[in-house]
Amino acid sequence: MSEQPSAATVVALDPATTAGVGAPLEFAEYEAENGSTNGQIAGPDRTFTTVASEASGRRAVWLDGAGSFVEFRLSAPANALTVRYAVPDGPAGKPVHAKLGVYADGDRVAELAVTSRYCCYYGRYPFTNDAADGNGHHFFDHARILLAKVLPAGTVVRLMGSPGNPALRCAIDLVDFERVPRPLRRPARSLSIVDFGGDPHGELDSREAFAKAIGAASSSRRPLWVPPGHFLLNGHVRVDRVEIAGAGPWYSILQGDGVGLYGHDAPNPSRAVYIHDLAIIGEVNERDDHKPLAGIGGALGGGSRIRDLFIQHVKVGLWLDGPFDGLVVRHIRVLDTTADGLNLHRGISNVIVEDSFFRNNGDDGIASWAEKLANHHIIIRHNTVVAPILANGVAIYGGHDIAVSNNLIADTLTEGGGLHLGNRFGAVPLSGRISLQGNMVVRGGSFDPRWHIGVGAVWLYALDAPIKAQIEVQRTTLLDSSQEAVLLMGKRIDGLVVNGLRVDRAGGRLIELRADGTATLSGVDATGVMDPAVLMCGAFLLEWNGSNSRFGRSSAHGC
């Protein structure tokens, strides 16, 4: 195992570092370890199964006992906060429920419910809720609250145990503060879900009301309005040729056991679906790959659009099954899933995923999986993926003509890298033009416990078949990589062209080649990598062109 980067190399995800990459954010992120605290700072640590390893920046603050606090001075007005926290399970893995006090300049303004119900998985994949299986991980969860008033810039906001449980033991990773605008107005000509029996108080199951209202809105070509409120949906609802409009993700909330909005199954996908300004909050606290528990699911093509959603506590934020054509996903926030944040699965084409934020997902943050049928003409741009608990930030499993650009990926944990291309999982092999351009990976890659090798922040894996495609890696930045910066492995890999690669510190080599093949590289600027910078384990030809600086191009052979 390569030596881990030292504590001094921690890179902050601040605007100066990440300018031009990632999603535009309406919130400001405050790392707990940078706040004022009398708690204990955990980390930095990248060892899988530790709390610090799963934290953003690999550090968090433990609040432990009465009077333990962390606090932040607001740089801008805010009336809402989202806290990423970890509460340990109780004896024998029983869930613990508690409350954090929220104080503004010394006055208690709110209590924030926290729980270990959605945290703390055990064993090996696909994981369990049984503490006896050991290997505890997936510690963090999020809780959010909309305050009764706007706190001005300069306010000191403190988190500590509430009077009801002052001795709470809780790790705080970060807090997102934002100023939430007033609820959106009801669209003209819209039908209201309340008029069909929907209960905004969340006491009655509104699933049947939604089904009726969606049918009426679709047939009349009128929007369906979801006013402020909590609507209980114990199961998913089918959508087709309809607009569903909420008052905003902080106001119009769909919640329940199995809640979700699903398109019809292929080969007759839903079309012209427009879902926006809602929250979808489930109750999934286990990983069962046989259950349809996505927030958005099915097949949604024909010009469908999804935007401005908050999705939490589902198995997958969006699991879309093709074949279908034509979808835009824009400006969504997906937190605390037990599997992927978003997965485009099988024969999906002409899709854009952009300006979206993913954190604490149980598997790949964003994945395009061309199982049996090729995904193609997929654009994944200006998204942020932070702390996926398993696998990769952005993963492309097969397909052709796919562009991944200007994304920010940080803090991958185990069995994956930051940017991943693979002929794996029965995918149609990669072909055509695959473009990775302008992306940044911070603290990417991981040590794989099965193979006992490092996985690169950029990782190509020709497992099922050789990779032979026009793969362009351009203007890519890899900061503080946990292991190798770039890893190529498996069967033969040809067609890789690297033009503009900046590597600033890595726990391993610049490039590790565990495959045969060819690649052309230019504009590589690397510091803080192992010497020699290249490790070859097969018959691989690297062609160095143009200007490459600050590292030796000699190679070591044998693994």
Q: How many helices (H) and strands (E) does the chain have?
A: 3, 50
Q: How far is CA 171 from CA 86, 305, 310, 381, in A?
A: 5, 37, 23, 32
The number of beta carbons lying within 10 Å of the beta carbon of residue 105 is: 12
Residues 271 and 356 in one domain: no
Does 347 score more than 80 pLDDT? yes
Residues 116 and 231 in one domain: no
Q: Kindly state the average pLDDT of the residues 345-367.
A: 98
In a domain, 461, yes or no: yes
Which pLDDT band, with edges at 50, 70 and 90, does 197 fall under?
A: very high
Residues 374 and 263 in one domain: no
Q: What is the CATH number of the domain that holds 91?
A: 2.60.120.260
Residues 119 and 199 in one domain: no
In a domain, 320, yes or no: no
The number of beta carbons lying within 10 Å of the beta carbon of residue 289 is: 12
Show the domain range for 86: 35-178
Tell me the backbone φ, ψ of residue 470, rounded to 5 degrees.
-90, 90
In a domain, 30, yes or no: no
From 178, 203, 237, give the residue that closes a domain: 178
The number of beta carbons lying within 10 Å of the beta carbon of residue 539 is: 11
Residues 412 and 289 in one domain: no
Residues 247 and 230 in one domain: yes
From 178, 201, 221, give the residue that closes a domain: 178
Residues 525 and 468 in one domain: yes
pTM: 0.97
Does 349 score more than 50 pLDDT? yes
In a domain, 25, yes or no: no
Residues 303 and 360 in one domain: no
Lowest mean pLDDT among 66-75, 82-91, 162-171, 239-248: 162-171
* pLDDT tens-digit readout, 275-289: 999 999 999 999 888
Residues 218 and 357 in one domain: no
Q: What is the pLDDT of residue 559?
A: 78
Does 7 score more than 90 pLDDT? no
In a domain, 325, yes or no: no
List beta partners, residue 351.
Answer: 327, 378
Using the structure block, give the residue that is written with the tokens 């001795």: 167
Q: What is the pLDDT of residue 99?
A: 94
In a domain, 424, yes or no: yes
Residues near 14 by Cβ (< 8 Å), separated by ≥ 6? none
From 148, 178, 208, give the residue that closes a domain: 178
In a domain, 318, yes or no: no
Beta strand pairing status for 169-178 and 78-86?
A: antiparallel
* pLDDT tens-digit readout, 36-76: 999 999 999 999 999 999 999 999 999 998 899 999 999 99
Q: Kindly state the average pLDDT of the residues 66-88.
A: 97
Residues 50 and 126 in one domain: yes
* pLDDT tens-digit readout, 435-485: 999 999 999 999 999 899 999 999 999 999 999 999 999 999 999 999 999
Residues 57 and 172 in one domain: yes
In a domain, 323, yes or no: no
Count of domains observed in the chain: 3
Three-point CA angle 216, 217, 220, nearest 5°: 85
Q: What is the CATH number of the domain that holds 423?
A: 2.160.20
Residues 304 and 259 in one domain: yes
